[in-house]
Amino acid sequence: MKQMLLGAVIALTAGAATAQDAVTYTTTDTFEDVTFGLESAIVGRGLVIDSVSHVGEMLERTRADVGSDVVLFDHAEVFSFCSAALSRKVMEADPMNVVFCPYGIFVMQQPGSDAITIGFRQFPEGPMQEVQSLLDNIVREAIGE
């Protein structure tokens, strides 16, 4: 029963995020410069990037397979990582904060645009605001703000 309840809570929480729930910044730097800056900002804090999801490549590769002719992105990647110290702190405050781990920052460029968008999902009030602050600082450093 507990596992089913935990699964339901995670599913509901994961589904609650919308595009309006994202913190985003736009720059005219190149996609390569922004992703390099992001990687440097994450690693420079002693954090380890768990994975880089090549969302844009996957969507383009599978576009015809799903019957679409819409090109969504020229580039789109999501960097996933965690901070052991900060994750422990927020999960000691509320073990259900596990739903937010790992943290993700996306970088994307839409077709026909020189603008690069970088951002992350907003976190709830309370202990998770410290994580949001960390991500905001990383993103700002990545684009030189």
Tens of pLDDT along 47-92? 999 999 999 999 999 999 999 999 999 999 999 999 999 999 999 9
The model's confidence at residue 109, banded by pLDDT at 50, 70 and 90, is: very high
Half-sphere exposure in the Cβ direction for 50 (13 Å, CA):
11
For 51-77, b/e burial (b = at least 16 CB within 10 A) is eeeebbeebbeeeeeeeeeeeebebbb
Contact 56, 108 (CB under 8 A): yes
pTM, 2 dp: 0.84
Mean pLDDT of 123-137: 97
For the chain, domain boundaries:
18-142
| CATH code of the domain made up of 18-142 | 3.30.310.70
Lowest pLDDT segment from 7-21, 108-122, 130-144: 7-21
